[in-house]
Structures are given as structure tokens and as C-alpha cells.
Amino acid sequence: MRTVIATICAVLLLLAGCSDESDCPTCPGDGKIEVPDPSLQNIWPNADKTSWTYRQNHRVWEGNITIYPTRDDIPNVPLPTWSEIFSLVEARTPVEPNTATRRIYRMQFDGVTTTTSGVTAQRLTDEVYIETAQGLKRGAEKLGMPILTRLFTIRPDIWNRIRQSKDPILGLGLTSDPSGGATVLAHGENIWHGLLSNPARILYMPYLLRGGAWEKTAEWIGLYDDLSARLAWKFLAEDITVGSEFSYQLIPDFSDDTFLHGRVYRQTSVETEIGTFEKALDCLYILDFGISTVTDLQGEVVGYMRSFDYGRVIYAPTIGPVYSYERWGVEPGDPPTPGFEDFTTMLIGTGTPAN
């Protein structure tokens, strides 16, 4: 254990760009700097070489997603209200997870990148280190596009349409299975995620806070991907006043029922391991996947299911994202089902460009 702790400390200093003589940026909440009101321009600093280091926990529970024989059998239940989502992200799950993984996650602006769809944007790199008994182990060299990796398991019908139109597969670290594509298998009431020719290559990552081809304009902060030149993901919209909302259709070329919904829920003070941040924006998100078709190995339809993911990102003025939480595999209901996976990401260090 001492070896693991020592290794973690050394890597944290390296990733955060700090020495053991405290050359890190001034910690928040020390009273020396007046915190400005949040704006779209200051809520996520993007000078080249700016970096963030986070402690990240990934937990998984065993469970079932309900499979219905027909689309019409799926209950017509609305998504939770924003106040209900806030209660969900504030709640603590009393049941111990089946597995829990601790990670160190880092993002850094590093020049520019051009997607295969032809969009040039800032390059926000990300890398992950997984905590093991032997110390921190570097994760996948390329994390790919987490939202598409998520579609691989929850919407195989969309995945297949993407796979069939985009060859080779777009930097996901995934390969299609020999039977012709990702498949969700139904065994009784258990859902088994899709077949892969090399399952060890999967590294599931959160998507509410992640890197990629990043852009900040007067209208949004978001990401582009390789599927098209259209904005692929929206972190924030033009209006970031408390109570503002946006809805954004994802992958419209391949799906007409996959939507991202966001709301600036409140302004708050958030405490992290490196200090307390004032005037932070607590932003809530719902990713509605619509209705998923469940098939067997032969591609025969065995039923349908509906689920959504939800979470939050807290952004601090002049600092950027300081905390995020997301929950996967939730079914609408009163109350919604608990879901089967979650990610908690907490800021533990920042780095700024050298003068």
C-alpha cells in the first residue's frame, strides 16, 4: 500500500506540472484573488498547455435492464425533471458496487488537431492511469470517442449504422465482432454487452467531462468528432445564467431519438481536495438514448429497451471543470431505476502555461 501511495503522489506531481516545492498555481479560496462572475469565456480557460488532473472513481453494479417484447409495451414515462435529477446526483447509493476502480485522469490543451471530417480545433488531450496493487498503470493510449463507445453497448442498432458507413472504425479502440457488428444479447433478464474480437481493449470512460477536438465560441463550448463537421457534443451553450437550458440532437445522421439535454441549475461553492471554488456553475445533463433494439447472436430482434444517463459538471470561473458525476443505464420511472455504472471525477491539481 505504501508503494502505491508513493507512486500516486509522484505521478500527481508530474501530471499537475508541480514540484514538491509548491510551484503550483495559487490555491482557490485563499482570499488573494477576487473571483469574477462566471461567463462563457472564463468558465473554461483554454490557453495552450493549461492542464487539469483529477481523481476518478468508476463503480459497477450488477443489474438488469427491462426488455419489452414490442416498442408499444415500453411504458410512456417522461424523463425526470431537473429538480429530480438534482436530487439523484446529490444522493448516495447505499448498495456497495460489485467492482470499483480508482483512476487518475488528466486533460491538457496541446496545440490543434484536425478531425477526419475536416474540422480544425484545439486539441484537448486526455490520459488515464489506473490504480493497481503495483501502482498506477497507464490506460489506453487513445481513449477515442467515449460517447460512441457508450453507443456500442446501449444502442447497437446505431452502432451498426455507424460501423457500416464508416470504415475503419473511428479511433475507438474497438473492433467489430465476427458475426457482423456489436450486439446486445438477452439471456433471461440479463443484458450482456456486445461481442468484441478483443474485449481487453475496451476502456470505458465518462463523457460529460472529456477531451477531444475542443472549441469555444460566443455560442458554445463543445467537441467535434470524426463522424461529421457538425458539432458533436455541447458542454455549455451561449446562455449560462442560472435556469438556462439547451437540448442538442446527437449523431442526427444515424439517429433521430438521441438527445443531450443540459441545464445550468445553480451557482454554488464547491469544495475539492485542493480548495474551495466560489461562484461555480452546477450544470446538470441528461443523455436520452431513445429506444434500443435488442438482438440475439443471429441478429434476430428479441425485444426493446429504453434507458438514459444523467450527471453533472461543476465549472469554476477562471479554473474550468472541477467536479463531475455521471450515472449510466437508468430507466425512466417513478422513481427511475438506479442504473449500473457511475463515474465520479474530482479536481486534484491544475497547471498553467509557463510564462
pTM attached to this predicted model: 0.84
Residue count of the chain, please give it: 355
Rounded distance between C-alpha atoms, residue 147 and residue 70, angstroms: 26
Strand-pairing partners, residue 105, are 54, 128
Helix (H, G, I), strand (E, B) or coil at 62: coil
- Per DSSP, 272 falls in state E
Show pLDDT as tens, one digit a residue, over the chain (355 residues): 433 334 444 445 445 444 333 334 444 445 557 899 999 999 999 999 999 999 999 999 987 788 899 999 999 999 999 999 999 999 977 688 998 999 999 999 999 999 888 999 999 999 899 888 888 888 765 555 567 777 777 787 787 777 777 654 444 444 433 333 333 433 333 333 333 333 334 567 889 999 999 999 999 999 998 888 999 999 999 999 999 999 999 999 888 999 999 999 999 999 998 999 999 999 999 999 999 888 766 678 888 989 999 999 999 999 999 999 999 999 999 889 988 899 999 999 999 887 4
- Per-residue confidence (pLDDT) for residue 118, from 0 to 100: 92
Rounded distance between C-alpha atoms, residue 146 and residue 49, angstroms: 23
Check whether the bond before 332 is cis (ω within 30° of 0).
no
Enumerate the domain spans of the chain.
Answer: 2-18+38-137+204-351
Rounded distance between C-alpha atoms, residue 247 and residue 264, angstroms: 12
Residue type, 6: A
Rounded distance between C-alpha atoms, residue 153 and residue 149, angstroms: 7
